[in-house]
Amino acid sequence: MDFFASWDVLGISLVLSLRFLGPFALGVSLIAWAAFRPSRTGLRLSSLLGIALGLLMCIAPVVLFLVFDPFS
């Protein structure tokens, strides 16, 4: 199948990518902000909480995808 000739399939693949991409974008942004924002006090509890929440956001869609496996 020609990749760039099936535009509706491309649209569907973009919609399906959102289930991973949305949580990844939020999670990675949270991790980056919590870990790398300029702070005089270094890593505090709030930063660690932000990193943990970001990791959870990144892992959650993968776990949910494996639990509700659409290929089985």
Partner 1 sequence: MRARVAGDTGGFSLRRFNMLVLGVVLGTALFWGSAYAGFLGFTSVEGAAFSALLLLALVVADVALGGFLARVQLHGRAASWRREEKGVGLFIGGSIFVGALISGLFLGAMIVLDTPPSHRSFFAFAAGPGLGLVYGMIYGMPALVGSTIMELRLRARRGDS
Which residues sit at the interface with partner 1, rule CB under 8 A?
A: 3, 7-11, 13-18, 20-22, 24-26, 28-29, 32-33, 36-38, 58, 61-62, 65, 69, 71
The nearest distance, CB 15 to partner 1, in angstroms, is 7
Q: How far is the CB of 45 from partner 1 (least distance, A)?
A: 20
User: CA angle, corner 56, sides to 18 and 62, nearest 5?
Assistant: 45
Distance between CA atoms of residues 19 and 13, nearest Å = 11
Q: In this structure, which amino acid lies at residue 41?
A: T
Q: How many angstroms separate the CA atoms of 62 and 15, rounded?
A: 16
Rounded to a whole number of angstroms, the minimum distance from the CB of residue 46 to partner 1 is: 16
